[in-house]
Structure 1
């Protein structure tokens, strides 16, 4: 919110200096971002009129001007392109000193004397424009001090507002906070009702229920829309960051900035009536003031004109007016409107169309529902005083049952003291709340406080305590260290903590990535992982519209950005949550670990030849994580849509007879890599973190004092039989005497027919109570051999 310092002081008289005012605003939560001083040190600068302008005899770009100062005529040599006879502009007379330290003296320019300087807005420090002389209105009083005419010096102050302080999107709203903080009072806003002089009006029909519970309007006929905006109004708009456009538009902007109510002016002659307010219909279109034609749906509020088949959309409620009904210099009859739109009906609608308007910004955060009538009366008075015209009656359509009504809030004296840690005098509490415009009634234990209709943010006792704290002064609240003892909680031994997981991957040359938990829905569709995605009600942008169901899309996108910037070797990991819709309750949230790798296994060096990272390299990294938790992983063929067929696997954790699927590991599908504009292979994994890092509590056990026995066996099995399946069969058949099973050879070639493979394994047997005999060992080996042959069609290799 940007505003003029002088404008604010008109609403709240205060003796605070500019620096003190800025410091006070920041201290009470209205953080000042910028203060731009305007028109300092303009003594000796007057309003002047160029009587004549002749070409300089010795310079093509200079003119010799005779300038009326109101006290005589002086000669000025000027190089401004817009210098011309009849122009009224600022003149710095001899002896004046302009902002920046420029002293004005009599001088000769190419042999012609000059007694002063005609000035641009930039030279005067009132605007950055330096393209030519500052052109003043034709009725500007020649000879008057410029500072007096333009109400200078002044300052343009910009503050940053939190979303709950919608009441401060107006000069008058800020004035209440300043009055409370500086022990002053807000000047009364005297807006007397305008009496109707004609019966002309426009019927309004409300069909949007609670979304638009109030709509006010008035017809003004016979005005002169070509009347220039008065200097005092144009300057206040300009110093508030708004460019003056035309009188009718400027009046609506001025009222919005001063009291906080957005308004709109329709050209009455373009309306047939009645004017309606309803939800738009799917597929309806309208052309907005900026020339953009937009397609609407049921979420938008439409302002319509006419009835039946002739009804048309003439404005987008709470966001922007329509092009066809706009006011122009030819407008003679106008229909002013001011309405109350519920915030929920406006939030996010502008962003859906790529629009951001001052009206939408205010309505999204909440506007005082009592302002529309006041705004119409104020704007009417301004238009009549400046442009003339004949007003009709103020008409109002309302749905009282849907209008918000402030509710009283109880403030307890003891609660206030306990929360703030200090006692605030009753008189100070009542002064602060009263200065903020709240109605205060004393009670035995505190106060009964009713907020004004503009303060949507005050609903509970803590809101009132916050108001008192910020106005009384946060710096006056004593600093007290909390007392008590903190209970130290030992880390759980049943899981590997996240910090250890991070260190483990960092030690294996990975960098951690942190991505948004919300992503573009198109990403998930590209990965065929959009099922169950949770849409956001109010996304930051259209590209961040859903919660992620996988970590990999964001992680691989980060990898692709690095690869496109000449990083040929990228190794990234991420710990984060994924989300899935749950119709019965809140979305399901799962913590996962993911990694993605492209390029060589090792950084470039002379001691080893370059080799691209593959499935087994990544598997080794994953196995190292599992080893930290004492987990045994199994890998089985995967059918994930983003996976390369035959080069990826589903990952299972095996604990005794229990098997749990953790996630996926493998190479990304070439089709996906092409869509992501990646020209090298990428291997990745993504697993649920919780079951991966579970670990059993270590238990001490005595080592067997009896010797172990090893027997080696080699089986010929079909190529399609996985080692994990054979491993499970051997462990089940061998029983408790099997201490370790080692696969030490895999062979295909001479002596083994095509389509088969030879797997050689070592069985290490041991008993804790006795030495195993040859008979015991032979029985176990025979049982293992029979089981492998029976269940996998294997035969013993001799």
Structure 2
């Protein structure tokens, strides 16, 4: 929000200097981002009129001007500005005046005397325009000091507002905070209704329900649209970052900046009664003020008239921009003023989808006082009638009272205020602050009953009022104290592995943690085949960040690709974060997951080992090290996921439930992602890896263990995981460890089969196992493998 310092001081009286005012605004949460002083030293600069302008005899680009400054004689000025001409009113720096770092002196330019300098806006420090002389209105009083005429000195102050302070997108809204902070009061504002002088009106109908609960309009006849915008208004607009265009447009901009209510002026003669506020029709076209034609969707709101049938033609894009065909021009004689209340949810994101960012949309997205439209219409009407003449008709107001918010009542307790702030603020000071902020306050025994005005959307609960007291009373006035009382220590659960332990384990295995956005490009998810059940954002930051991620790997692999593109040949990254799928009730289903990616060499470059590319078993070893933290036994089964390399990827199971995927990315996917390196990756639900049984201490057996090596021939399609599961069940509690030490296919083994050689480590806690015990266990294992997998002892 940018505004004129002098304009603010007209709404709140304060003796604070500019620096003190800026410090005060920042201290109460309205951060001052920039201050641009204007017209600080204009002594000796006056309003002047060029009486005549002739060509310099010795220079083609110079003119010799005779200038009237309100004295008996004209002054001769040599000027090189392209717009210098007879009749032009412009600023003149007299001899002795200081412009910037230059002191003006009488001089000869190419042999012609010059007794002053006609100035541009840039030379005076008023604007960045240096294309020519600053052109003043023709009726500007000649000889008047320029500072007096333009209301200088002044400053353009820009605030960096937080989204919750929508009420401060107006000079008057800021004035309430300044009044509370400096112990003053806001100057009463004249919004006396203008009486109707004719019966001309446009009927208004509301067909958008709660999204537009109020629409106020008024017709003004016989308005002089060619009248120039008054200097005081144009300067306030310019110092607020708004370029003056024409009087009728400038009035609506002025009222918006002063009160915070966006408005629009239509050419009444281009409208056909009635005016209807409704939802757009899918594919409906409208031409906007900037000349662009846009296609709308049903979630847009529009203002339409009845040209071609009821509500047939769109004349404005609701809450964002007016229409081209109904705009006011210099030929406009009759005006229809409009001020409406559009709720934020009906406007948020609409302008961005069309590539538009307007002051109106910016305000309506954050919230505008629903009580302002009538007041804004009256203020704009008064300004138009006083400056451009005209005959106002009666105010037309369409309203749905059941959809308008009522005043909020909040009880502020004295004891609660002191306990939260840690300091006692006097009752008189609390009442003063709340009343200065424009709140209605009623004292009672335990504190205050406060009625919040409709412009303060951010005040809803008692803590909001406490925050108001704190920021206005001053955070510096609240002492800093250490928290007291006993702190309850939360002991970590023995049945759960801490996430930090998982992070430390992966970091120890040479992985770097990455943090990616939780929203990604829909096209990226589509390449992974992961767009199904994706949650689209209603108001994305950009088109490339429009969908909540359903997996971690797309973003993590994209981070790996950026590193590879920057000559990082060995990249190992992991991420822990949430994924979002579908909708469960009103919210998407969130799942905490962990993922890792790796490419390049298996180990860093070194002198005592040969280079070897990272493979499936390397990344599986990293994953198994994480599973070992909780004692989880992971099972790997061949995967058919489309993003995985056939034969080099697997689904991950724990206790029979699928929890993730591991493997090499499919070459086709790598090509789509512009990845030259082979990428190994895994991703799975983190929660199953964090759960572990309660550790129980047990003595080591004092009896010796026995090892038996067995080799079985099984069909090639039988996985080791299935064989190992059968062996463990058949061997019982005496099996301490099971090791696969050989896998063989070749001569001696039938085609379509493989030989698996395993070592069984057997041990009992109460006695030494005999040969008979061991033979019985081996026989049980052999029988179970024959039964479940048709496996036979290799001869």
TM-score, normalised by the number of residues in structure 2:
0.95
Q: Secondary structure of the equivalent of 2:785?
A: helix
Check 1:692–1:83 CA distance in 2 against 1; reply closer, same or farther (3 A cut): same
Tell me the equivalent position of 2:658. 661
- Deviation for aligned residue 1:507: 2.0
Contact 2:638 2:651 in 1 (8 A): yes
Distance 2:783 2:461 in 1: 77
Contact 1:274 1:307 in 2 (8 A): no
Distance 1:705 1:407 in 2: 76
**Structure 2 residue 14 is matched with structure 1 residue 14:** yes
Distance 2:277 2:313 in 1: 11
1:745-765 deviations in whole A, cap 9, x for unaligned? 122223333322222222232
Tell me the equivalent position of 1:731. 728
Check 1:510–1:58 CA distance in 2 against 1; reply closer, same or farther (3 A cut): farther
Distance 2:739 2:426 in 1: 81
Of 689, 710, 715, the match for 1:692: 689
TM-score, normalised by the number of residues in structure 1:
0.95
Tell me the equivalent position of 1:755. 752
Distance 2:253 2:176 in 1: 21
- Deviation for aligned residue 1:126: 0.9
Distance 1:331 1:318 in 2: 23
Tell me the equivalent position of 1:338. 339
Distance 2:630 2:412 in 1: 54
- Deviation for aligned residue 1:375: 1.3
Check 1:625–1:137 CA distance in 2 against 1; reply closer, same or farther (3 A cut): same
Of 752, 771, 774, the match for 2:768: 771
- Deviation for aligned residue 1:148: 0.8
Contact 1:662 1:692 in 2 (8 A): no
Tell me the equivalent position of 1:625. 626
Contact 2:408 2:453 in 1 (8 A): no
Contact 1:652 1:661 in 2 (8 A): yes
Q: Secondary structure of the equivalent of 2:408?
A: coil
Tell me the equivalent position of 2:386. 385
Distance 2:478 2:701 in 1: 69
Matches within 5 A, 1:125-164: 125-164=125-164
Tell me the equivalent position of 1:502. 503
Tell me the equivalent position of 2:424. 423
1:68-117 deviations in whole A, cap 9, x for unaligned? 22223223233323223332221111111123x32222233344333222
Contact 2:271 2:307 in 1 (8 A): no
Q: Secondary structure of the equivalent of 1:121?
A: coil
Distance 1:401 1:796 in 2: 83
Gaps of 5+ in 1: none
- Deviation for aligned residue 1:582: 4.6
1:762-794 deviations in whole A, cap 9, x for unaligned? 223233333333333333223323332333233
Check 1:680–1:87 CA distance in 2 against 1; reply closer, same or farther (3 A cut): same
Distance 1:410 1:206 in 2: 36
Check 1:508–1:182 CA distance in 2 against 1; reply closer, same or farther (3 A cut): same
Tell me the equivalent position of 1:319. 320
Check 1:794–1:460 CA distance in 2 against 1; reply closer, same or farther (3 A cut): closer
Tell me the equivalent position of 2:557. 556
Tell me the equivalent position of 1:481. 482
Distance 2:674 2:704 in 1: 59
- Deviation for aligned residue 1:416: 2.5
Check 1:710–1:424 CA distance in 2 against 1; reply closer, same or farther (3 A cut): closer
Matches within 5 A, 1:372-771: 372-584=373-585, 586-653=587-654, 658-771=655-768
Distance 2:697 2:444 in 1: 69
Check 1:307–1:83 CA distance in 2 against 1; reply closer, same or farther (3 A cut): closer
Q: Secondary structure of the equivalent of 1:408?
A: strand
Contact 2:256 2:263 in 1 (8 A): yes
Tell me the equivalent position of 2:260. 260
Tell me the equivalent position of 2:250. 250
Tell me the equivalent position of 1:368. 369
Aligned length: 793
Q: Secondary structure of the equivalent of 1:313?
A: strand
- Deviation for aligned residue 1:537: 4.2
Check 1:612–1:377 CA distance in 2 against 1; reply closer, same or farther (3 A cut): same
- Deviation for aligned residue 1:243: 0.9
Q: Compare 198-207 and 55-64 and name the one that shifted more.
A: 55-64
Tell me the equivalent position of 1:782. 779
Distance 1:626 1:763 in 2: 22
Distance 2:377 2:561 in 1: 56
Matches within 5 A, 1:212-223: 212-223=212-223
- Deviation for aligned residue 1:236: 0.4
Distance 2:4 2:427 in 1: 34
Distance 1:68 1:603 in 2: 83
Check 1:791–1:430 CA distance in 2 against 1; reply closer, same or farther (3 A cut): closer
Check 1:620–1:143 CA distance in 2 against 1; reply closer, same or farther (3 A cut): same
1:438-495 deviations in whole A, cap 9, x for unaligned? 2222223333222223223333332322222222222222222211122223333333
Q: Compare 16-25 and 475-484 and name the one that shifted more.
A: 475-484
Q: Secondary structure of the equivalent of 2:584?
A: coil
Contact 1:534 1:579 in 2 (8 A): yes
Contact 2:410 2:450 in 1 (8 A): yes
